[in-house]
Each structure stands twice: as C-alpha cells, then as structure tokens.
Amino acid sequence: MKYRVLLDLSFAQEADAQALMTYAKTLTSKAVSLNEGNINEEIAYCDIHKCHHDEVPTRPCEKIERVEVRKIIPITPVVSVVR
C-alpha cells in the first residue's frame, strides 16, 4: 500500500505556482512510481503549466515543466560497427 496525493491548484501569481512546484520537487526523492516498467505502470509526476481556460476565448494550456519519478534507467542500445 502507498499514500498518494493528487493536487490541482490554480494560482493568480506564477511565483506561488513555482513555489509549490519547487517544494514538490524536493519530495520526489522519497516518491515512487507504481509497477514501473510494466504495462500497468503509474508514473509519479509533478506538472506546472500556464492555464488559459479562464480567458475568453479559451486557449490550450502551455506546459512549463514536468518532473517524472522514475527509478528504472532506460537501457541505451549498443550499436556495433563491423569493419
């Protein structure tokens, strides 16, 4: 069993959003993803973006940063050159 926190908070000031993102990033070393590497994986993450859904006309969100918690390091394929 794990304890999971989901947040979706909008702020009027970018500095407030950045402060929460900075704090969340300090906790990522303690966080874990679930079933990482399997087809049913759930990757833990922190997102920050500009949301324009309160504007008229609305516009799509703009991603600023995404931090994912991954413990498995992807294997880089080795390319052999035959001469």
pTM above 0.95, yes or no: no
Residue 73: pLDDT band (50, 70, 90) is: confident
Residue 79: pLDDT band (50, 70, 90) is: confident
As for how many domains the chain has, the answer is 1
Whether 55 shows a pLDDT value over 70: the answer reads: yes
* Nearest C-alpha neighbor of 46 from the set 73, 72, 27: 27
Range of the domain at 62: 1-83
Whether 29 shows a pLDDT value over 70: the answer reads: yes
Alpha carbon separation from 49 to 16, 43, 57, 63, 75 (Å, rounded): 13, 18, 18, 4, 30
